[in-house]
């Protein structure tokens, strides 16, 4: 069942009083209990897309298209409906937990806030959050509840954020680069807790990250964004075997591997384009080695090719040539 539908979403933000396009026509849906990884480089519009889902956007942003959550349009909600939606249906986990937790209140006070606000009794709320902290691997809970945010490490604080997000029993989690600021070992731990809890509770998740591998390891599907456009949506399991968009292929190939060294990394030439710089044609045109005349004149729509959806005119002919050689590194796979 479809939980969230992002329907032809576009977003303009004024810069110097001129509207500047941030997101071009993004269409994406999330099923109940499904995890989708929204992957892209900086400025690709992935964060803004996730923020649009809870209407957490600058005042002067102009939104086009629609966002539908469980049959209701988020963009049409009035203040009260929006407040209920934000507090019960979705929860957000941010990149920098330190700046999203009030530094002068204890961790306990932060955790029970939403529950008490909703009308729970303090003692009940404390019991709920204590249990949640336990599930995300935090020990000495009574002590932790009395501590202040600055007394916890980054990884622990991020797990507190996850507990806070789970406390309101939402149906959708929005995770915006939740582990980017953490060390790798801490990242693995935090991601594992997030993943286990999400699966156990059957929550849907929109996971925003720049790390394709990380997204592939915890998500069901991957949506790749480039310059404010969605260029490819595919199953996470097939990301190494069958990528269809030249950008996704380039992204996978240009990341150095820990298992082996290449004489020269394959690179995507040029620099990432900003959404507002795009011309008529394909967003990836200026960096694409396979560009044809049609790519210059017509922007490709996202369309179904095989089991994926891809926005590339040449998807059919290129399928197969773009396959990432790294699949061979995977244990147990010898093609």
Partner 1 sequence: MPETAPPAVEVRNLVKVFHLRRARGARRRSVKSLVAVDHVSFSVGQGRSLAVVGESGSGKTTLARMVVGLERPTSGEIAVGGRERRSTRVGSRERRHRAREVQIVFQDPYSSLDPRQTVGRCIEEMLRLHFDADRAGRLTRVAELLDQVGLDERHAPAYPRALSGGQRQRVAIARALACEPRVLICDEAVASLDVSIQAQVLNLLSDIRDRIGVSYLFISHDLAVVRQVSDEILVMKNGRVVEHGPTDRVLDEPADTYTKLLLSAIPRPGWHPVAESDPQPVAT
Contact residues: partner 1, CB under 8 A: 41-42, 137-140, 156, 183-189, 191-193, 195-196, 210-214, 216-218, 240, 250-251, 254-262, 264-268, 271-272, 287, 326-327, 329-333
Rg (CA), the chain: 21
**Residue 250 or 281 having the CB closest to partner 1:** 250
Least CB distance to partner 1 at residue 35 (A): 13
Least CB distance to partner 1 at residue 272 (A): 6
**Residue 6 or 111 having the CB closest to partner 1:** 111
How many whole angstroms separate alpha carbon 233 and alpha carbon 239?
10
Owner of token pair 């964004």: 225
Query: What torsion do the CA atoms of 211, 206, 10, 29 make, to the nearest 10 degrees?
Result: 120
CA distances from 233 to 109, 236, 297, 302, 334 (A): 40, 9, 23, 9, 25
CA distances from 227 to 3, 36, 163, 288 (A): 26, 19, 33, 14
**Residue 167 or 191 having the CB closest to partner 1:** 191
How many whole angstroms separate alpha carbon 29 and alpha carbon 64?
16
Least CB distance to partner 1 at residue 256 (A): 4
How many whole angstroms separate alpha carbon 133 and alpha carbon 136?
5
Least CB distance to partner 1 at residue 130 (A): 14
**Residue 79 or 264 having the CB closest to partner 1:** 264
Least CB distance to partner 1 at residue 187 (A): 7
**Residue 61 or 141 having the CB closest to partner 1:** 141
């Amino acid at each position: 069942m479809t939980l969230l539908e992002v329907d032809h979403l576009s977003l303009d933000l004024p810069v110097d009083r001129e509207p500047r396009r941030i997101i071009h026509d993004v269409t994406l849906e999330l099923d109940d209990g499904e995890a989708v990884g929204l992957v892209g480089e900086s400025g690709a519009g992935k964060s803004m897309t996730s923020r649009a889902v809870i209407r957490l956007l600058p005042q002067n942003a102009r939104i086009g298209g629609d966002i539908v959550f469980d049959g209701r349009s988020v963009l049409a909600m009035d203040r009260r409906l929006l407040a209920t939606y934000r507090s019960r249906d979705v929860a957000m986990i941010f990149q920098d937990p330190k700046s999203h937790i009030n530094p002068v209140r204890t961790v306990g006070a932060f955790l029970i806030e939403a529950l008490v606000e909703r009308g729970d009794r303090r003692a009940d709320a404390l019991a709920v959050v204590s249990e949640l902290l336990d599930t995300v691997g935090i020990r000495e809970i009574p002590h932790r509840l009395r501590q202040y945010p600055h007394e916890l490490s980054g990884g622990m604080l991020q797990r507190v954020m996850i507990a806070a997000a789970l406390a309101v029993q939402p149906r959708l989690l929005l995770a915006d680069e939740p582990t980017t600021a953490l060390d790798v070992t801490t990242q693995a731990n935090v991601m594992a807790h997030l993943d286990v809890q999400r699966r156990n509770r059957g929550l849907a998740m929109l996971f925003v990250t720049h790390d394709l591998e990380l997204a592939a390891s915890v998500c069901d599907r991957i949506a790749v964004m480039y310059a404010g456009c969605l260029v490819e949506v595919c199953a996470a399991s097939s990301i190494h075997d069958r990528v269809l968009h030249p950008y996704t292929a380039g992204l996978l190939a240009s990341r150095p591997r820990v298992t082996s060294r290449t004489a020269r990394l394959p690179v995507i030439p040029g620099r990432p384009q900003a959404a507002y710089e795009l011309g008529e044609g394909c967003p990836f045109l200026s960096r694409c080695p396979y560009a044809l005349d049609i790519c210059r004149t017509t922007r490709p729509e996202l369309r179904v090719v095989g089991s994926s959806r891809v926005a590339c005119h040449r998807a059919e002919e290129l399928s197969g040539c773009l396959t990432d050689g790294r699949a061979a590194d995977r244990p147990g796979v010898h093609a």
